[in-house]
Amino acid sequence: MQDATHIVVGSGSAGAALAYRLSEDPANKVLVLEAGGSDIGPFIQMPAALSYPMNMSRYDWGYRSEPEPHLGGRRLATPRGRVIGGSSSINGMVYVRGHARDFDTWEEMGARGWSYADVAPYFQRMETSHGGEAGVRGTSGPLHVTRGTKWNPLYAAFVEAGRQAGYEATPDYNGLKQEGFGDMEMTVWRGRRWSTANAYLRPALKRPNIHLFTGVTVTRVLFEGTRATGVEYRQGGRIERVSASAEVILAASSINSPKILMLSGIGDGAALSALGLPVLANRPGVGANLQDHLELYIQQACLQPITLYKHWNLISKAMIGAQWLFTGTGLGASNHFEACAFIRSRAGIEYPDIQYHFLPFAVRYDGKAAAEGHGFQAHVGPMRSKSRGRVALTSPDPMADPSILFNYMSHPEDWEDFRAAIRLTREIFGQEAFAPYRGREIQPGAEVQSDTELDDFIREHAESAYHPCGTCRMGAPDDSLAVVDPQGRVIGVEGLRVADSSIFPQITNGNLNAPSIMAGEKIADHIMGREPLPRSNKEPWIHPDWRTAQR
């Protein structure tokens, strides 16, 4: 089989960016291995159809969590992209860099060189921002980041309600001021989903030194001694091997990257031995530290027939689809998350710990209408849960699904934070700006008020926001629970790196697509021995009264 200098496992948010940068050097011969197939088709490319691809087995690994002990034993869907572009091809297209303090915290946790000052230039390099803060946002990167048309008056009502409730407004939450209410940004360009397959992979594949194999499932990394020399994969019924003369880089997701490491003998030694797997490097942090964002939908009936509900029929959907297909415009060209907010749940918290996605429709993420009739909703949830879960092997068989346990809501503070989020949302929806539109509260419902009633609602209705990360945590080389060093190198072996959301020491404030791409961009420079981009000297905005005021 064809040999390469670099093998990249996974063509998703980080993997596609990594492949694009590595192949800039004609001396590199880059091979990208992707378990899924093509992303051609309207369900992926049309932004408004976002609920379809994440529920299609053709594009999704179809993972589910173990019964979650603190959520009444519910098993939650854990979609991960199994298609070129990975999860950037099936996500909600929401673009959030994260708060500056997130990355400063990473550095404090041992990820030297990943502070805000270090990562800001990589965000800038990867973006072409349309309407973002000048001098902070990128203007010539592969990734187009746009804003919606705000066709619906409810978007403006949400932002105005935040102002009326005493919160800040922000012109660009991806600029220096995340805190506040404002326009939400999306990875949509010219009416199409701007996945990393479109932004990075397709342009890279025009180069002669990069090749993409689809439909291949990597089963393990191959080693000579402790040096990675290639990978083994399955394609159809065949087992193939391919070698890498320089490095193997796993960018296979926070679920599959630790799975491949464990199958390759890197992980908790006792657990691997119990499955009959040889232990190459005893790294108990592999698969540990699993984090995610949970969210609730706070839903309100709308008194005016202006929401997306009027298009929730086959004729209207067909007309929207046709307009999008022929012109790339109209309601099909938006993910409809066009307004948002980042707020602090209480005084004494330095930077936002609650995120809002606002939607002019009362519907579930899987596309099932939750209420008959017009409504609107805010997706809300705490950003920095203290709960931690894990990914584990269930079998030495590489085709067996891993065991995923998020351990959601296992920390008592999570319940306090969620109750605060619900009550703060009700206060926002209760402002004058919503008076012309506000009907009854659909969910949780006006009768759900006490802590106990709210806890019951949370237990029954909290959903994953699909932001798993942290399972191959980056840290100092002498940290026994770190899996990779600050250059993404797997500790204890050579020639092997991880570059995806699994390396995040702590989950960031918001959706994970942007920081995952940034990780791919930054680790590409480490692999190529380039000088890091010059550090930013910009200071992020922190609420001057954060110690004493919630807003």
Please give the full DSSP string across 463-495, using - where no structure is assigned: EE-S--B-TT-B--TT-TT--B-TTSBBTTSBS
Find out whether 94 is annotated in a ligand binding site.
yes
- DSSP classification of residue 474: B
pLDDT of residue 505: 98
Nearest to 105 by CA among 302, 384, 291, 455: 384
Annotated active-site residue in 411, 467, 526, 543: 467
pLDDT of residue 2: 56
Reported as a single tens digit per residue, the pLDDT across 291-310 is 999 999 999 999 999 999 99
* Distance linking the first and last C-alpha atoms of the chain: 60
- For residue 106, the SS3 value is helix
Find out whether 439 is annotated in a ligand binding site.
no
For 246-267, the DSSP string reads EEEEE-SHHHHHHHHHHHTTEE
CB 398 within 8 A of CB 220: yes
CB 515 within 8 A of CB 15: no
pLDDT of residue 365: 60
**Phi and psi (nearest 5°) for 10?**
110, 130
Q: Residue 313 — very low, low, confident or very high, per pLDDT cuts 50/70/90?
A: confident
Residue 372, pLDDT > 80, answer no
Nearest to 5 by CA among 23, 16, 13: 23
Residue 371, pLDDT > 80, answer no
Beta bridge partners of 392: 403
- What average pLDDT score do residues 246-257 get? 98
Segments making up each domain of the chain, as ranges: 4-527
- What average pLDDT score do residues 452-477 get? 97
**Considering the chain, what percentage of its residues have pLDDT values greater than 90?**
95
Tell me the average pLDDT of the chain: 96
Reported as a single tens digit per residue, the pLDDT across 75-95 is 999 999 999 999 999 999 999
- What average pLDDT score do residues 506-528 get? 98
pLDDT of residue 74: 98
- What average pLDDT score do residues 17-26 get? 98
Nearest to 508 by CA among 99, 59, 21: 99
Q: Has 467 been annotated as catalytic?
A: yes
- What average pLDDT score do residues 328-357 get? 97
- Which H or E run includes 310? none
Count of alpha carbons within 13 angstroms of residue 200, beta-carbon side? 33
Reported as a single tens digit per residue, the pLDDT across 382-438 is 999 999 999 999 999 999 999 999 999 999 999 999 999 999 999 999 999 999 999
**Considering the chain, what percentage of its residues have pLDDT values greater than 70?**
98
- The length of the chain in residues reads 551
pLDDT of residue 1: 47
Report the 10 Å Cβ neighbour count for 304.
11
Q: Residue 171 — very low, low, confident or very high, per pLDDT cuts 50/70/90?
A: very high
Residue 249, pLDDT > 80, answer yes
Tokens linked to 363: 């519907």
Q: Which of 42-56, 102-116, 355-369 has the weakest average pLDDT?
A: 355-369
- For residue 487, the SS3 value is coil
pLDDT of residue 121: 98
Q: Please give, one letter per residue, the 3-state secondary structure of 176-211.
A: CCCCEEEECEECEECCEECCHHHHHHHHHCCCCCEE
Nearest to 370 by CA among 311, 424, 309: 309
Kindly tell me the sign of the dihedral angle through the C-alpha atoms of 540, 544, 547, 551. Answer: negative
Find out whether 136 is annotated in a ligand binding site.
no
Residues whose CB falls within 8 Å of the CB of residue 202, separated by 6 or more in sequence, listed in order:
none
**Separation between Cα atoms, residue 178 and residue 381, nearest integer Å:** 16
Reported as a single tens digit per residue, the pLDDT across 58-78 is 999 999 999 999 999 999 999
pLDDT of residue 401: 97
pLDDT of residue 179: 98
Angle formed by the axes of helices 412-429 and 153-164, nearest 10°:
110
| CATH fold for the domain made of 4-527 | FAD/NAD(P)-binding domain (3.50.50)
Find out whether 92 is annotated in a ligand binding site.
yes
CB 481 within 8 A of CB 473: yes
Q: Residue 366 — very low, low, confident or very high, per pLDDT cuts 50/70/90?
A: low
Nearest to 463 by CA among 368, 342, 361, 399: 368
Residue 370, pLDDT > 70, answer no
**Separation between Cα atoms, residue 48 and residue 92, nearest integer Å:** 9
Residues whose CB falls within 8 Å of the CB of residue 108, separated by 6 or more in sequence, listed in order:
none
435-440 contact pairs (CB < 8 A, 24+): 436/303, 436/304, 437/153, 437/154, 437/157, 437/302, 437/303, 437/304, 437/306, 437/376, 438/300, 438/301, 438/302, 438/303, 439/300, 439/301, 439/302, 439/303, 439/375, 440/300, 440/301
CB 521 within 8 A of CB 127: no
**Residue whose pair of structure tokens reads 């009027």 in the numeric block:** 310
Tokens linked to 379: 């997706």
CB 375 within 8 A of CB 442: yes
Find out whether 91 is annotated in a ligand binding site.
yes
Nearest to 323 by CA among 508, 46, 86: 46
Residue 326, pLDDT > 60, answer yes
